[in-house]
Amino acid sequence: MFRNYFKIAVRNLLRHKGFSFINISGLAVGMASAVLIILWILSEVHYDDFHEKKARIYQVWNKATFSGKLQCWNTTPKVLAKYVQQDVPEIEQATRAEWPNNYLLTYLEKRLKSQGNIVDSNFLQVFSFPLLQGNPKSVLMDMHSMVVTETLAKKLFGDDNPVGKIVKLDNKENFTVTGVLKDIPTNTRFKFEFLLPWSYLRRNGNDDEYWGNNSVSNFVLLKENATIDAANNKIKKIKVRYDKTEDPSWEMFLYPMSRWRLYGNFTNGVEEGGRITFVQLFGIIAAFILLIACINFMNLSTARSEKRAREVGIRKVVGARKGALVVQFIGESILLSLIAGVIALLLVQVSLPGFNSLTDKKLSIPYGSWEFWLASLAFVLLTGLVAGSYPAFFLSSFRPVKVLKGTIKTTNAFITPRKVLVVLQFTFAIILIICTIIVKQQIDYARDRETGYNKNNLVYHFLDGDLDKNYQLVKTELLSSGIATSVTKTSAPLTQGWSDSWGFQWEGKDPNDKTDFDRFCSDEGLAKTAGLQFVAGRDFNLQQFPTDSTGIIINESAAKVMNFKDPLGQIVKDNGIDWHIVGVIKDFILQSPFYPTKPMVIEGSKGFFNCIHIKLNEARSTADNLAKAEAIFKKYNPEFPFIYKFVDEEYAKKFDNEKRTATLAALFAALTIFISCLGLFGLAAYMAENRVKEIGIRKVLGASVGGITTLPSKDFLKLVIVSILIASPIAWWAMYKWLQDYPYRVEIRWWVFVAAGLTSILIAIGTVSYQSVRAAIANPVKNLRSE
């Protein structure tokens, strides 16, 4: 029996090539889109899944009240690890990680910059980064030990055995490679190419026992039989127990590794999701795209039901039960889905590089995994079942008495399942069009926002190697050679906030005020270098005013918070230094362009420095400027490569996430429209075929080609208009919710809905009109005769 079904299915596919093409291509594109999204979702869900002790690993978080709001964050004091290990018996191990940093590594003649992480020596006993060489218990015990990944080892040592090799770090100290790690996977929160021991950081004087310095990540591994509640109870008040100056309400808690990636957003102390929202949203989009492709199959199968009706009648007459026919038709759709699945796999393979670059992932198809093939088979079966079940029940319910007489006619009811399905398809497509437009508007809105400084021809370089020592020489030469018009030393790039504090003190400050300030440092000339605008006072000038080394410049938001009548000359205490205000600048965007600028203080040359900002001379070519600047940097910092960044390019990266969202929304919208239009094209073809007699009669009676062309278009137009009416409020609600995350946001304008509606109408009419025109220009005599 199944052979018979198979034969007839294959012959049907070959006989109705147009129908088969529309169905298979629509399903293949839908399945490929769904598979890409599923791969993305799986990579998110299985983030950091490879750690063997994942279920017992936690990070310590802070929970404290600022300006009346309970806030949670995950940077904690360096001293914490020692005390949690000591005070909480449920904890098997505590381990710390510094922020990753770029270091210059030198091995013989080879020099390269690489990202390293300073971690506690037990780091590799808590986290499962497999060692190809070395013992996880001992590889980081020595202060000058170093563990490298296999890729870094290859880069440094070629095919030689890395263990025992001596590498110079930042051209200062030698480290011995004690272990080689398998390259770390992409789906982990840790990003490093090598590890250094915490003892090195301690030796450099960068370790501290200050409970107020929330600057590192503290992780703990619970004992196997320990409960999280018991550990949390003991850790809750650990900070206030040791730091008597702290607000007694300050708490700490353990946050499980399983929630780091997808959750971690807290509002007023309560976990409120995170990336999980995107995962869910992508899941819904994948399901809808697949459903839309299935809807094409359902619609086309039922639209051409008259063609299959006679077969159904005959089969029933010769003894087929309804169940057998259902099995036959579902089998046909599974066969079709199988063919589409194979094509989808090819499409996924071809589009993966593009999708990876769009989503910043390294996804791949796990061809070697039997689970993958099993899941694929289940996916194909499910798609076949979803697509085939409605047509199967619809077709198999035909009564032979009627179909063999040829009395089955398509219904002209006001609401039919087919119309509902077309409306569903277009509703989804229109929602995505509206979302794409609004996300794009939001990006443009933030991009057009006044940054408060001049990004053009502004580059920065990290203050590595001998640059700090030779800064004045470098600066003088850059200026005297005409390469630069202004040079300033800063604590961080102008596009990044590296330091913040609520510990600033000034006269009249409310003791309960914990307003968080961005902390930035500059030696002098920042206003000129970055084009900042002063509303009061002046820039630092160490030549004229040597006391500017302890001067500060504040922004307008800080001036409001500090509430000085005349801020100039006022004293602000920070890190044990009395800083005096020399100027007030207009706010400029240091961090996110989607958020209001925070209060900010720029401390003078007594502060800390990591960068040089250079305003290139606009009168000369940029390439020439950079070439000459490189020569100067090489002269004074010969061991380090000249690695500069343009501030405007770095600023543009702040929009990467939103741009990615917009591109994905546009991509999904385009795919949805493509699949929906394929279906519409097929439906229009069948409808034109069914109305061939009506069109012939109308033409004989004098109807014009134009009048007839609009006949089928009108029917579809009504459905698209209904879709617009349903989609608009849904899209408005979704975008309203999305925009709430952005304090700086666009207003949702009515014309967006009109534009999306008109676009979908034009696309629908364009799709249908080919069939309408073909039907309208056909010779009526021929059509009527054929009837």
Partner 1 sequence: MEKIYRTEEVETVALNKLNLDVKEGEFVAVMGPSGCGKSTLLNILGLLDEPDSGSFLFNGIEVAKYNERKRADLRKRNIGFVFQSFNLIDELTVFENVELPLIYLGVTAADRKTRVEDVLDKMQIMHRRNHYPQQLSGGQQQRVAVARAVVNKPKLILADEPTGNLDSSNGNEVMQLLTDLNEQGTTIIMVTHSEHDARYSHRIVRMLDGQTVLENIMV
For 21, 25, 98, 345, the CA distances from 350, given in Å and listed in that order, are: 20, 15, 39, 9
As measured in angstroms, the least distance from the Cβ of 300 to partner 1 is 17
Name the minimum Å distance from CB 341 to partner 1: 24
Q: Work out whether strand 194-197 and strand 110-119 pair parallel, antiparallel, or are unpaired.
A: parallel
Give the nearest distance from C-beta 778 to partner 1 in angstroms: 24
Binding mask 403-422 for partner 1 (x = CB under 8 A): -xx-----------------
Distance CA 596, CA 449 (A): 11
| Rounded Cα–Cα distance for residues 347 and 184 (Å) | 28
Residues 284 and 431: their CA atoms lie apart, in Å, by 13
Of 4, 505, 563, 621, the one binding partner 1 by CB under 8 A: 4
Position 689 contacts partner 1 (CB under 8 A): no
Among 154, 155, 223, 310, the residue binding partner 1 under the rule CB under 8 A is 310
Under the criterion CB under 8 A, does residue 324 sit at the interface with partner 1? yes
Question: Both tokens of residue 677?
Answer: 């239009």
Residue from 78, 239, 304, 315 binding partner 1 (CB under 8 A) = 315
Region near partner 1 per CB under 8 A, out of 8-16, 75-83, 162-170, 220-228: 8-16
Looking at the Cβ atoms of 261 and 308, the one nearer to partner 1 is 308
316 part of the interface to partner 1, by CB under 8 A: yes
CB of 317 to partner 1, least distance (A): 5
Q: Which stretch binds partner 1 (CB under 8 A): 112-120, 162-170, 305-313, 592-600?
A: 305-313
Binding partner 1 by CB under 8 A: which of 108, 166, 230, 317? 317
Single residue of 46, 69, 110, 321 touching partner 1 by CB under 8 A: 321
Stretch that binds partner 1, among 80-88, 177-185, 306-314, 737-745 (CB under 8 A): 306-314
Q: Residue from 141, 314, 378, 631 that binds partner 1 (CB under 8 A)? A: 314
**Contacting residue, 68, 205, 319, 706, with partner 1 by CB under 8 A:** 319
Count the alpha carbons within 13 Å of 91 in the hemisphere toward its beta carbon.
26
- Using the rule CB under 8 A, give the single segment among 11-19, 239-247, 529-537, 666-674 that binds partner 1: 11-19
**Residue 49, C-beta contacts closer than 8 angstroms, at least 6 positions apart:** 187
Find out whether 183 and 214 touch, Cβ atoms under 8 Å.
no
Closer to partner 1 by Cβ: residue 391 or 452 = 391
* Binder of partner 1 out of 318, 413, 623, 701 (CB under 8 A): 318
Query: Is the Cβ–Cβ distance between 133 and 180 less than 8 Å?
Result: yes
Residue (324 or 721) nearer to partner 1, CB: 324
Minimum CB separation of residue 308 from partner 1 in Å reads 10
* Cα–Cα dist 433/671, whole Å: 11
Is 356 exposed, middle or buried (CB count within 10 Å of its CB: 0-12, 13-18, 19+)?
Answer: middle
Nearest approach, Cβ of residue 405 and partner 1 (Å)? 8
Q: Is 327 in the site for partner 1 (CB under 8 A)?
A: no
Q: What is the DSSP pairing of strand 145-149 with strand 173-181?
A: parallel
Nearer of residues 12 and 151 to partner 1, judged by Cβ = 12
Full 3-state SS string of 449-494: CCCCCCCCCEEEEECCCCCCCCHHHHHHHHHHCCCEEEEEEECCCC
Please tell me the distance from the alpha carbon of residue 272 to that of residue 251, in angstroms, as a whole number: 19
Among 141, 401, 535, 762, binds partner 1 (CB under 8 A): 401
395 binds partner 1 (CB under 8 A): no
Nearest Cα residue to 25 out of 297, 287, 283: 297
Which token pair is 417? 């399942």
Which of residues 308 and 615 has its CB atom nearest to partner 1 in the complex? Answer: 308
Question: Under the criterion CB under 8 A, does residue 166 sit at the interface with partner 1?
Answer: no
**Cα dihedral across residues 611, 612, 615, 617: positive or negative:** negative
The dihedral built from the CA positions of residue 110, 111, 112 and 118, taken in this order, carries a sign that is positive
Q: Candidates 65-73, 170-178, 311-319, 601-609: pick the segment binding partner 1 (CB under 8 A).
A: 311-319
Q: Which parts of 328-367 interact with partner 1 (CB under 8 A)?
A: none
The CA distance from 349 to 372, in Å, is 14
Q: Site mask, partner 1, residues 15-44, x = CB under 8 A?
A: x-----------------------------
Query: How many of the chain's residues bind partner 1 (CB under 8 A)?
Result: 25
d(CA 496, CA 590): 6
Beta carbon of residue 16, minimum distance to partner 1 (angstroms, whole number)? 10
Considering the rule CB under 8 A, would residue 519 count as an interface residue with partner 1? no
C-alpha to C-alpha distances, 705 to 686, 709, 776, nearest whole angstrom: 19, 6, 5
User: Are the C-beta atoms of residues 429 and 764 closer than 8 Å to each other?
Assistant: no
Q: Residue 8 interacts with partner 1 (CB under 8 A)?
A: yes
Q: Which two tokens stand for residue 319?
A: 């003894």
Number of H helices, E strands in the chain: 24, 27
- List the one residue from 111, 202, 322, 659 that touches partner 1 (CB under 8 A): 322
Least distance (Å) from partner 1 to the CB of residue 681?
24
Q: Could you tell me which of 26, 786, 782, 762 has the C-alpha nearest to residue 387?
A: 26
The nearest distance, CB 5 to partner 1, in angstroms, is 10
Residue 400 near partner 1 by CB under 8 A: yes
Rounded-to-integer distance, Cα 773 and Cα 62, Å: 68
Interacting stretch for partner 1, rule CB under 8 A, among 401-409, 458-466, 580-588, 720-728?
Answer: 401-409
In contact, 470 and 632? CB cutoff 8 Å? no
Among positions 44-83, residues that touch partner 1 (CB under 8 A) are: none
Using CB under 8 A, list all residues that contact partner 1. 1, 4, 7-8, 11-12, 15, 310-311, 313-322, 324, 399-401, 404-405
